[in-house]
Structure 1
Amino acid sequence: MSMPAVFVSHGSPMLILQDLPARSFLATLGSLLPRPTAIVAVSAHWNTERPTVSTAARPQTIHDFYGFPDALYRLRYDASGAPELANRVAELVGAERDPAYGLDHGAWVPAMLGWPKGDVPIFQLSVQPYRSPADHIELGRRLAPLREEGVLVLGSGSATHNLRRLRRGDNDAAPEPWARQFDDWLSEAVEKGDEAALANYRADAPSAREAHPTDEHFLPLHVAFGAAGPGARGKALHRSFTSGNLSMASYAFA
């Protein structure tokens, strides 16, 4: 079984408690894909200088945010880790190992929605904001063999991510033109499998600086794209906006 690689936009931690189209989509993710043997979650919220893999047997739920309702901090995702597979991944990509890091909200929010029973082993692989999108495509390529074993490479970030421009509390606001332009460009580049455009998005994409003032929330997409192998193309699994310019687009690559 060759598992597709997937990128999801995980949005605010509040997504798991809100009635939004993106939440409804993520709640179907497990049914849209073959059942994974394990999940390698590549979260925008774990940034390291060098690639690092979490190897905990029982990863803790990390509440890596503040100022949210108490109900959010009471949530726990009790899936097991996969230390043996995590160590293999470390060998494949030349990564360091972290036995203490758990699951940040970029990992546990989509996992809790897609696999609510917590019965699929999951661990994380970090991103390196100081390295290029092309470097992250290559990082993903090293993970490609795992897909033949039913392992899901799950990139979790955001198709657009500009916190200063969000219209907070206005979930139904129409998307701003710059956000729509970037989101449409991304959909076209993904569906064409345009590796050069994705790697050089800062020069090629309209409104790239507005859509991503920094790279970390976009890099998980590059890892997922790379994990699908050379010549991969993507298809949209979901597209919607919230807060005026936060694209919640998600893609599968094969």
Structure 2
Amino acid sequence: MPALYLSHGAPPLADDPLWPGQLAAWAADLPRPKAVLIVSAHWEEAPLALGATETVPLVYDFWGFPEHYYTVRYAAPGAPRLADRIRRTLRTAGTPVQDIPDRGLDHGAYVPLVEMFPAADIPVLQISMPTLDPRRLYEIGRKLAPLREEGVLIVGSGFFTHNLAALRHRGDGPPAWSAEFDDWGRRALAAQDLDVLFDFRHKAPAGQLAHPRTEHFAPLFVTLGAADAQGQLDSGRSVVDGFWMGLAKRSVQFG
């Protein structure tokens, strides 16, 4: 299976005239996964945690939205066998793995999955980010890479730029900092320059403006690790690009 990093949008993504169709078309071009393993910007938990392995209610981790966003359902099957596989893969003497069996999918997971796999008939497992350190997340991705050979779609779900100041931008086009970071990221990915990407806060133009806090860029490094372990960094391509409310929605596929 490929490894993906996608910009997941907020709950109103469903109302966008373009983006849901882009995600649906992307999914239609993928091989059908046996399961989806997703890492979302909206779940930081240490040590690394496995979410629900059976169908439980979604986590509506947002406030102040119209009521209909809180009635969305995505009753995908759980993935207990995948959870067992990850426990065996990641748990070592110095690296515990915990279970949080009542933790449902948050909006970083279910919002894009509703558009990509609307039948909700593919098992889904969400795991936490135990750190925001790019290199450590990359190593987690490398360890998870063999799951791709077993039909597991590995997805890092974040946002290529994420500073809500963009919502107050009134000029034409996206804010300059968002456009500059997006262009830098596109070029860094094409160059397969991991060292520069790891140090994006200091090496990217407007790096700290594009990501005042780094949790929305961090899932990319799980994806990069899962790709690099299979020698596929050179296969990276942007499937979705452009901007949504001033934020870069660049989403990439490896393999």
2:50/2:127 contact within 8 Å kept: yes
Deviation, 1:56, is 2.4
The residue that corresponds to 1:136 in the other structure is 137
> SS where residue 228 of structure 2 aligns?
coil
Deviation, 1:60, is 2.1
Whether 1:127 and 2:129 are equivalent positions in the alignment is yes
The residue that corresponds to 2:198 in the other structure is 199
Whether 1:243 and 2:239 are equivalent positions in the alignment is no
Of 90, 93, 97, which residue of structure 1 is paired with 2:90? 93
Distance, in Å, in 2 between the alignment partners of 1:32 and 1:189 is 25
1:144-179: CA deviation from partner (whole Å, max 9, x where unpaired): 0001111000111000000133237x7x95112211
Deviation, 1:189, is 1.3
Distance, in Å, in 1 between the alignment partners of 2:253 and 2:213 is 23
Distance, in Å, in 2 between the alignment partners of 1:249 and 1:48 is 26
Distance, in Å, in 2 between the alignment partners of 1:239 and 1:87 is 35
Query: For residue 86 of structure 2, what is the amino acid of its counterpart?
Result: V
> SS where residue 45 of structure 1 aligns?
strand
Shift >6 Å, 4+ stretches: none
Distance, in Å, in 2 between the alignment partners of 1:149 and 1:194 is 28
TM-score, with structure 1 as normaliser: 0.92
1:189/1:197 contact within 8 Å kept: yes
Query: For residue 220 of structure 1, what is the amino acid of its counterpart?
Result: P
> SS where residue 126 of structure 1 aligns?
strand
Unmatched 5+ stretches in structure 2: 92-96
TM-score, with structure 2 as normaliser: 0.92
Query: For residue 107 of structure 2, what is the amino acid of its counterpart?
Result: H
> SS where residue 69 of structure 2 aligns?
helix
Distance, in Å, in 2 between the alignment partners of 1:198 and 1:158 is 15
Distance, in Å, in 2 between the alignment partners of 1:23 and 1:124 is 21
Unmatched 5+ stretches in structure 1: none
The residue that corresponds to 2:20 in the other structure is 23
The residue that corresponds to 1:6 in the other structure is 4
Query: For residue 152 of structure 1, what is the amino acid of its counterpart?
Result: L
Whether 1:84 and 2:81 are equivalent positions in the alignment is yes
> SS where residue 160 of structure 1 aligns?
coil
The percent identity for this pair of structures is 42
